[in-house]
């Protein structure tokens, strides 16, 4: 899982080039009832691409579909589908990724400003530019990982260890579980390092290393995160000064979570977290506690690991 320190395209973002395209489509995603593969293929063709639809029902199918792929990969599905494709394409910025959000949270698409019905989203890609998209790389006692959205420990990771999305994805249920846990979570002080600089010993009720603005069921913990800036947003809550449940709920609703007095957010390219066996999450996957194991979790930004298409405003339509 090693990779060059930076694979970001040089200079300013270039306009998207029309040509061959591959459609990856998750028929189990929440929005799949609104558009069939044929509908999406026709819409992609209408904006100037030559698309091929590849049906994928397993991880092996996906790897085969993306082996040697060129041009642009349109991915219709939720964050899980986007993640699977993105991690397969990691380190190949010559292939552009175009997300078609059809899931529940759609954290990646929302961070990129891509929203709407699938056919409308594809039409918007008629005017698009290619931009770099970073990933996060993790080295930990449990092994190596990559993430699109976030990696962290503390209350949210503990909640995720018990939260089962198969029971039904509910942003409200997740926020309630998170805020309830924050009132009882009693973490020990740890000394993290940001870009080689030691931070004071602090008991963190929440410690999230964010690449996108939101993670999980649309929890916007890093309002100003930019997945193309080559850095990660380190969001943490000091457990000694944590605030009440309604305060966190209201801040998430207002989209100013980082403005709370108990919340600190810092950008860094390299984060080191002491590991004492606590639970972590990597995107929507949980790395369960490992009792008796100690060490460190090293999290680094991988600048420009991907290239993504981002729709541009249409001046003729009066968009700004």
Segment 195-249, tens digit of pLDDT: 999 999 999 989 999 999 999 878 899 999 999 999 999 999 998 888 877 888 8
Q: Are residues 90 and 191 in the same domain?
A: no
Residue 198 included in any domain: yes
Alpha-carbon gap, residue 99 to 104, rounded angstroms:
14
Q: Which domain holds residue 187?
A: 136-303
Overall average pLDDT of the 5-12 stretch: 36
Say whether pLDDT at 5 is over 50. no
Residue 315 included in any domain: no
Q: Are residues 159 and 56 in the same domain?
A: no
Greater pLDDT, 155 or 144? 144
Q: Are residues 174 and 268 in the same domain?
A: yes
Residue 150 included in any domain: yes
Interhelix angle 171-184/245-254, nearest 10 degrees: 140
User: What pLDDT is attached to residue 4?
Assistant: 34
Q: Are residues 182 and 282 in the same domain?
A: yes
Q: Are residues 160 and 249 in the same domain?
A: yes
User: What pLDDT is attached to residue 179?
Assistant: 67
Residue 318 included in any domain: no
3-state secondary structure of 125: coil
For 290-303, the DSSP string reads -TT--EEEEEEEEE
Q: Are residues 192 and 84 in the same domain?
A: no
Q: Are residues 199 and 72 in the same domain?
A: no
Alpha-carbon gap, residue 22 to 187, rounded angstroms:
46
Based on its alpha-carbon atoms, the radius of gyration of the chain, rounded to whole angstroms, reads 20
Residue 24 included in any domain: yes
If one counts the domains in the chain, the total is 2
Q: Are residues 145 and 117 in the same domain?
A: no
Residues 226/316, Cβ–Cβ less than 8 Å: no
Which pTM was predicted? 0.87
Q: Which residues contact 35 (CB under 8 A, 6 or more apart)?
A: 43, 76, 102, 117, 118, 119
Which burial class, exposed, middle or buried, applies to 240 when counting CB atoms under 10 A from its CB (0-12, 13-18, 19+)? exposed
If you average pLDDT over every residue of the chain, what do you get? 86
What are all long-range contacts of 50-58, with beta carbons under 8 Å and residues at least 24 apart?
A: 50/19, 50/20, 50/21, 51/20, 51/21, 51/22, 51/23, 52/20, 52/21, 52/22, 52/23, 53/22, 53/23, 53/25, 54/22, 54/23, 54/24, 55/25, 56/24, 56/25, 56/26
Residue 6 included in any domain: no
Say whether pLDDT at 58 is over 90. no
Q: Phi/psi of residue 36, each to 5°?
A: -90, 165
Q: Which helix (H) or strand (E) holds 45?
A: helix 37-46
Q: Are residues 99 and 66 in the same domain?
A: yes
Q: Are residues 92 and 177 in the same domain?
A: no
Q: Which percentage of the chain shows pLDDT scores above 90?
A: 63
Q: Are residues 79 and 163 in the same domain?
A: no
Alpha-carbon gap, residue 77 to 74, rounded angstroms:
10
Residue 295 included in any domain: yes
Sign of torsion over alpha carbons 232, 146, 148, 4: positive
Residue 161 included in any domain: yes
Q: Are residues 184 and 216 in the same domain?
A: yes
Residues 24/54, Cβ–Cβ less than 8 Å: yes
**Tokens standing for 318?**
């009066």
Q: What is the CATH number of the domain that holds 262?
A: 2.60.200.40
User: What pLDDT is attached to residue 120?
Assistant: 94
């Amino acid at each position: 899982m090693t990779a060059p320190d930076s694979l970001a395209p040089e200079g300013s973002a270039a306009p998207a080039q029309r040509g061959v395209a591959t459609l990856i489509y998750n028929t189990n995603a929440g929005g799949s009832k609104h558009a069939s593969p044929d509908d999406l293929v026709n819409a992609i063709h209408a904006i100037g691409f030559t698309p091929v639809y590849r049906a994928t029902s397993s991880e092996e199918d996906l790897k085969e579909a993306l082996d040697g792929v060129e041009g642009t990969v349109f991915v219709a599905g939720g964050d899980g589908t986007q993640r699977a494709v993105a991690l397969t394409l990691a380190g190949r910025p010559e292939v552009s990724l175009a997300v078609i959000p059809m899931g529940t949270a759609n954290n990646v698409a929302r961070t990129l400003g891509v929203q709407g019905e699938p056919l409308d989203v594809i039409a918007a890609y008629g005017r698009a530019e290619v931009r770099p998209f970073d990933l996060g790389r993790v080295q930990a006692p449990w092994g190596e990982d990559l993430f699109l959205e976030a990696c962290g420990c503390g209350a949210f990771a503990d909640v995720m260890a018990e939260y089962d999305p198969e029971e039904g994805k509910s942003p409200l249920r997740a926020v309630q579980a998170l805020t309830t846990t924050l009132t009882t979570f009693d973490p020990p002080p740890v000394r993290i390092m940001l870009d080689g600089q030691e931070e004071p010993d602090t008991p963190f009720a929440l410690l999230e290393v964010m690449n996108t603005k939101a993670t999980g069921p649309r929890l916007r913990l890093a309002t100003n995160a930019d997945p193309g800036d080559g850095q990660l947003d380190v969001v943490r809550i000091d457990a000694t000064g944590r605030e009440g449940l309604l305060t966190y709920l209201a801040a998430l609703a207002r989209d100013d979570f980082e403005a709370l007095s108990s919340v600190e957010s810092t950008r860094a390219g390299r984060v080191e977290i002491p590991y004492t066996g606590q639970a972590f999450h990597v995107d929507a996957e949980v790395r369960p506690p490992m009792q008796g194991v100690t060490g460190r979790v090293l999290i680094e930004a991988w600048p420009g690991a991907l290239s993504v298409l981002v729709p541009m405003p249409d001046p003729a339509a009066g968009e700004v």
